Structure 1
């Protein structure tokens, strides 16, 4: 779940606490070239204000029109299923490219308790399933299985919330803060490890988790899987190499280290001398990031995350 979806949930909670009417829309299915993927959300306040998105804008206009022309009487029980773009003409009318079609649920949020509970769980780095029964409008929250995805069987929507990907940063310097801020917007659960006490403060403000101890222990502690990226950013071989020795033998889908080509060549030689196999060392990304001519910390963070996201999305071969 990305930061835009979190903003939708926070807006719902704030509006309901102010006593305002709130409608929630969730994309459940798409066909063709739909503008937004399943799971995308939009909240509409009773005065027509919108937060979030389910399309490029035209469907949002129709949803507001439904509110103002009386098609949405208050107090309706259950959730309704809306479909846009069944015909090519309707798809063109609502701005759906290439005859795309999307289906979304429309529900009135009466009791916001489940929203507060969901936000609390997401802030606690949990991955949660929300089960919405359309006929009754009832909601149930439960922990998600690791590989569970959004599903809809015509009666119940099971939507996934919370971080699905993890990023462990070795080193808590200035660059790590830029990486953290951007990674949070990209739906990464960010963890930071740095044994130097002077770098351990302020991370809670960035909604990152600080992992105490030495870098190799931190890598072992989080049990990296295929949804984990690990990046060494300290420039200190005593810290970076310790993390890399463990990370390169793990299942992490991305392992990288900051540094020039010369530094990374020397790093590879050190890792070989420490016993890593050639195939394991070959997994190391370094210098990290896509070649965008980056110089500032923010540009380096953008370059790094662009490479990580490309690999996450299966587009890494395009940059080889």
Structure 2
């Protein structure tokens, strides 16, 4: 599963190779409420086909209508603003007073889309600088914390995996977790030294490593844009890796398991000189409570919690797996009312 950004770029490359005219549309600024964030992209073909989104539908309809009526005539990038007035905001589906500014770039062989895709295939984080006056494009290395930048002269957009996820264990749950995380702009690494689990395990775009998990945690030099999820249920593989991850700057460290196993794990980690502050960073039992039973549902639960942490959203204990199950055991009927709200 590709991220939306990558899907848009791949589609642009396909259209260019087919000799079709196309444009790349990027949200560069918003005021008030807006359906899509800055950096969101859309690819627009001369036959009216679109991939991606900049507004949720209404502005796309206007862009498509203009292509059907006039074709793609731009030869240089253009900045277009929607929703300046309340009437326009209503017409284009923006909240009253909301405004969205777009950069519309006609693509050609000099747009370096194919070269950009090659770099992204190597998991590089790339800064693409578009000269808004000439249409000239330059590619360079981007830092993890860089974001979209726009001036009167240029638009610099950031492409590639902005976050890293290390999954310990190559089981069925790992497949779903890795696949969904890829679509969320994570560079995903799966680590499992057990040959019987690695055999036949493959998700396109995911790096599969045969190493001891704690060694790999140290090798990866986890930073504040890294997450670690342990899924093996095997203390020999999980515990040492969790210990090293909890001592790192990783924004999220979690492990699967029951409440009883989680309590035992925490006691074992204390024996490894993991401090109380470091131990408090451990998420386990992992995920938010959605009644998940299947591997795909559990993967969604895990990524929902991970996304909340990444976005600095505090989740109340009653919607976390441990809190919800503990409350259910104490007062089933009362908990049902809480979870139903």
Q: TM-score, normalised by structure 1?
A: 0.95
Could you tell me whether the CA contact under 8 Å between 1:13 and 1:112 is conserved in 2?
no
SS at 1:97 equivalent = coil
1:310 to 284, 308, 311: 308
> Aligned residue for 1:94?
92
* CA distance, structure 1, for counterparts of residue 226 and residue 286 of structure 2: 16
1:200-243 deviation per Cα after TM superposition (whole angstroms, max 9, x unaligned): 35565431112331111010011011111101100000000011
* CA distance, structure 1, for counterparts of residue 203 and residue 303 of structure 2: 20
- Give 1:304 shift: 0.4
> Aligned residue for 1:80?
78
1:4-40 deviation per Cα after TM superposition (whole angstroms, max 9, x unaligned): 1211111111111111111111111111111111111
> Aligned residue for 1:270?
268
Q: TM-score, normalised by structure 2?
A: 0.89
The higher relative CO (CA closer than 8 Å, separation ≥ 6) is in 1
Could you tell me whether the CA contact under 8 Å between 1:25 and 1:42 is conserved in 2?
yes
1:166-192 deviation per Cα after TM superposition (whole angstroms, max 9, x unaligned): 110011111111100111111111111
> Aligned residue for 1:236?
234
* CA distance, structure 1, for counterparts of residue 110 and residue 293 of structure 2: 45
Closer/same/farther in 2, CA of residues 82 and 221 from structure 1, 3 Å limit: same
- Give 1:71 shift: 7.1
* CA distance, structure 2, for counterparts of residue 26 and residue 113 of structure 1: 14
* CA distance, structure 2, for counterparts of residue 203 and residue 15 of structure 1: 33
SS at 1:69 equivalent = helix
* CA distance, structure 2, for counterparts of residue 307 and residue 313 of structure 1: 10
- Give 1:125 shift: 1.1
* CA distance, structure 2, for counterparts of residue 222 and residue 56 of structure 1: 37
* CA distance, structure 1, for counterparts of residue 282 and residue 93 of structure 2: 43
SS at 1:213 equivalent = coil
Closer/same/farther in 2, CA of residues 85 and 201 from structure 1, 3 Å limit: farther
> Aligned residue for 2:148?
150
SS at 1:51 equivalent = strand
Could you tell me whether the CA contact under 8 Å between 1:203 and 1:209 is conserved in 2?
no
- Give 1:121 shift: 1.3
> Aligned residue for 1:187?
185
- Over aligned residue pairs, what C-alpha RMSD do you find? 1.6
- Give 1:250 shift: 0.6
SS at 1:163 equivalent = coil
Gaps of 5+ in 2: 319-341
* CA distance, structure 1, for counterparts of residue 284 and residue 153 of structure 2: 48
Closer/same/farther in 2, CA of residues 319 and 87 from structure 1, 3 Å limit: farther
* CA distance, structure 1, for counterparts of residue 98 and residue 71 of structure 2: 24
- Equivalent positions of 1:35-54 (< 5 A) are 35-54=35-54
Closer/same/farther in 2, CA of residues 249 and 27 from structure 1, 3 Å limit: same
